[in-house]
Structure formats: C-alpha cells, structure tokens
Structure 1
Amino acid sequence: MSSNATPTTTTAPPLNPTPTTAQPPLPPAQTFDILPPLHALLSRLEPSLNVYTPDTSAAIPPNNAPHTPVTSASALPSSAPQQLDYKDAAVAAQFLKSRIRKALADLAGLADMHRGVEEQEEEIKGLEDKIKRQREVLARLAALAEEDKS
C-alpha cells in the first residue's frame, strides 16, 4: 500500500446464515432394496412362469429325444424354498409389506420430504442469487487488492 493512498472500505451485503440443524443419518441402502425378496416371493408363487420352453419351430435335435423343460426349481439346490400356494401369499408377503412400511417411514423422517418442487426451486433460485452476490463481492475485493498492489 502506498503512503499517500487512503484505504477504502466496501460493505458487503449481510449474509443470511443458513440454519444448520443436525440432520438425521440417511437410512442404509438395504432399506430400499425390495426387489430380491419380491422376486423370491413371486418365483415361489408362480412356478409356471419359471419354465423355459424352446421355440418349437427350431430344428429338432438329431436323436429325436423329447425335450424336458428346465425350471428354475430344478436348477436350485435342495434347500430352495417350497412352492407357495396363492392362499398363503398374503401371509408370505407380510415380511415384504413391513419392509416397505419401514422404508416409507424412514423416508418420511428425512429432512424436507414435506416440501414441494416449487418450494425447492424457489430456494435454489435464492441460493443461486446469494452465490452471485458473493462472487460480486469477491470480485470487488480482488479489484481492491489489485489496486493496493500498484
């Protein structure tokens, strides 16, 4: 700074501090992973959907042996779960329903889940305006620092 220069001061617009509240931890990803149990339940429920039948218009094998369809149950080890009757499906689905309810409850506990898209877009616009003002202040400070160097 030169000896004859007078210091200039600028006042930055007051920044509204964003309130920081302790956010609850995010639920583990496994909470929302319901497809494998759903697949297991459905595969036990309808065994005919798991049967592979080849296209009959294809060439017949040379030994003319009858084709036996391959089911997923025959490919599974003997410890595979038993087939499920339709009447027992509601009882078997209780586990899956409880997992879905727990996932929904975990989602409801997250911050800002009650807010709509419009409200979030307004907040984003406000934050973008705040960033723009902060960049302008930084640019003015950089210009002042450059003046002081010369």
Structure 2
Amino acid sequence: MSGAATPHAPASARTSVAPTPAQGPPPPSSAPALPPPSTFDILPGLHRVLSRLISTSVQPPGAAPTPGQSSADGPLDIQQVSTAATEVKLKLQKARKAVMALPDIDRSVEDQQDEIDFLETRIAKLKAALLELGKPPLEAEDVDQSMTG
C-alpha cells in the first residue's frame, strides 16, 4: 500500500498488517540434544576383548605375558571373558538408555509415515502457492473482452 492513508480508506489499506495464514507456522522446534557419538562406539572395547581372547588361543599354555604387556592387555582365559566384557556391557547399557531418552522413540513406523505424508502434502501446497505468486498478473488485453462489444 504505497498510497497515502485517507479517512475513507478501509482499515486494511490504512495499516500494514501481514496476512494471517489459516494455519499458523509451527513453533520453531529445536533439535534434541543428541548424545555424543562416543556413547555408541562399542567396537574398540569389543575388539580389545576379542583380541585378548584370540591371543590366548595362539600362545602356548603357561606362557606368561611379556614385561611390556599389562594384564589388562594380555591374553585372556575363557573364564575371564565375562569380567573383561563388563566395560562393553556397560557401554551398551548407556547407549540403550541414551536412545530411549530421545523424543518420539515410542512412535510407530505408521505414525511416522502418516506425518511424512502430511508434510509432503503441505510442501506440495506451499510450492503451488509460490508458483502462483511467481506468475505475472494478467494484462488488460489478456482479459476476456466478450462482454465489451
């Protein structure tokens, strides 16, 4: 509205108010705080336990660890596997708790698919509205002149 406001102009012409959409925009959703990637990194611990177990089968029985080897990195007897795997088990429990703490983890696949379908439909409508806004207005000669004889 670039014209000057007059007392006889409608209220919409006197004030510059943004149109209100039928459905307001969704509140800005902040991304949930995700746990650090190290929470889910169990492979190094698992590799360490398996390597120790495999090195036991390679070494002859009764062979002592070399002085440079600590007992935590040395060969592992089958009876000690459960104790050595405790670190990996604890890490898995922490990772499971971290995943269960994420929002919407209890939603079914069908619920998620319904939301995706709804959002795709909404995107298509918004794109169509943008295309309409991008079209130039009809010129006077483009208007049907059948009534003006």
Same-fold call, TM > 0.5?
yes
Q: Structure 2: how far apart are the matches of 1:20 and 1:101? A: 32
Which residue is 1:32 aligned to? 40
Distance 2:116 2:26 in 1: 13
Match of 2:52 among 22, 44, 57: 44
Contact 2:56 2:77 in 1 (8 A): no
| Distance in structure 1 (CA, Å) of the matches to 2:35 and 2:50 | 26
- Structure with the bigger RCO (C-alpha within 8 Å, sep 6+) is 1
How far is 1:137 from its partner?
1.6
Equivalent of 1:147 in 131, 137, 140? 137
**Aligned AA for 2:83?**
V
SS at match of 1:46: helix
CA contact (8 A) 1:43 1:50 kept: no
The aligned length equals 116
Q: Which amino acid aligns with 2:38?
A: Q
Q: Does 1:105 align with 2:97?
A: yes
* 1:127 and 2:119 correspond: yes
Q: CA deviation at 1:125?
A: 0.6
Query: 1:19-38, CA deviations, whole angstroms, 9 ceiling, x for partnerless residues?
Result: 44544311111111111110
1:83 matched residue in structure 2: 75
Identity of aligned residues (%): 35
Distance 1:38 1:28, change over 3 A: same
Per the alignment, residue 143 of structure 2 pairs with none
The answer (yes or no) to whether the contact 1:12–1:137 under 8 Å persists in 2 is no
Deviations 1:90-138 (A, max 9, x none): 1111111000000011111112211122111111110000001111221
Superposition TM-score, scaled by structure 1 size? 0.63
Unaligned runs of 5+ in 2: 1-18, 60-64, 141-149
TM-score, reference length from structure 2: 0.63
Question: Does the 8 A contact of 2:56 with 2:75 survive in 1?
Answer: no
Aligned Cα root-mean-square deviation (Å): 3.2
Read off the aligned partner of 1:34 and give its amino acid letter: I
Highest Rg: 1 or 2? Answer: 2
